[in-house]
Amino acid sequence: MKVSIKVNGQNYTRDIEERTLLVHFLREQAGLTGTHIGCETSLCGACTVLLNGNAVKSCTVLAASADGTEVTTVEGLAKGNELHPIQEGFWEKHGLQCGFCTPGFLMATVQLLERNPNPTEDEIRHGLEGNYCRCTGYHNIVKAVQFAAAKMRGEAIAAD
């Protein structure tokens, strides 16, 4: 079947099998491999993207269901060489080690901060419950999100 999905502002029309998952469409049809596949069982959140503005696990959405939608992946966050404040937060606060989970955390954080620009630590941990990191222990991820939130609110950020 033919499916058209606008990814990071660019239209991708592809002939695919009905059973193609959105994550495979993004990686194999659109060639955007920033979206990772961790568990394939809807649990780890590495495959998180924004579907019409909602953070979803793209391993648990059919590409067919996403026909005609707009998707934002991690490749759509930075503006040229300028990192998105959330990417900057993960960079500044060492919110990653191997980086495998990071694209998913970044995209889930976009949604978290859009809904709650000034989250408490508890709210950050609750908001990112759908994302697993096997390296960091989450501590620095929380700091990274706090950094990004402050920057996006336009506040001065204290150095470490």
Residue 91 CB neighbours (<10 A): 13
Residues 9, 15, 41, 79: which binds another protein (CB under 8 A)?
A: 41
Binding mask 80-99 for another protein (x = CB under 8 A): --------------------
Q: Which two tokens stand for residue 118?
A: 């000034």
Give the Cα separation of 38 and 90 in Å (integer). 19
Helix, strand or coil for residue 37? coil
Query: Do residues 71 and 51 lie in contact, with contact meaning Cβ atoms separated by under 8 Å?
Result: yes
Q: Which residues pair with 21 in a beta bridge?
A: 62
Residues 5, 7, 96, 149: which binds ligand FES (CB under 6 A)?
A: 96
Stretch that binds ligand FES, among 24-32, 41-49, 72-80, 82-90 (CB under 6 A): 41-49
Query: Do residues 115 and 79 lie in contact, with contact meaning Cβ atoms separated by under 8 Å?
Result: no
Residues 62, 83, 97, 125: which binds ligand FES (CB under 6 A)?
A: 97
Which residue is it, tokens 């596949």? 37
Q: Which two tokens stand for residue 64?
A: 């067919």
Q: Does 78 bind another protein (CB under 8 A)?
A: no
Residues contacting ligand FAD: total by CB under 6 A: 3
Q: Does 43 bind ligand FAD (CB under 6 A)?
A: yes
CB of 43 to ligand FAD, least distance (A): 5
CB of 124 to ligand FAD, least distance (A): 19
Give the Cα separation of 111 and 50 in Å (integer). 8
Stretch that binds ligand FES, among 26-34, 44-52, 69-77, 112-120 (CB under 6 A): 44-52
Q: Which two tokens stand for residue 102?
A: 């990071």
Q: Does 42 bind ligand FAD (CB under 6 A)?
A: yes
Q: Which of residues 110-139 bind another protein (CB under 8 A)?
A: 111-112, 127-131
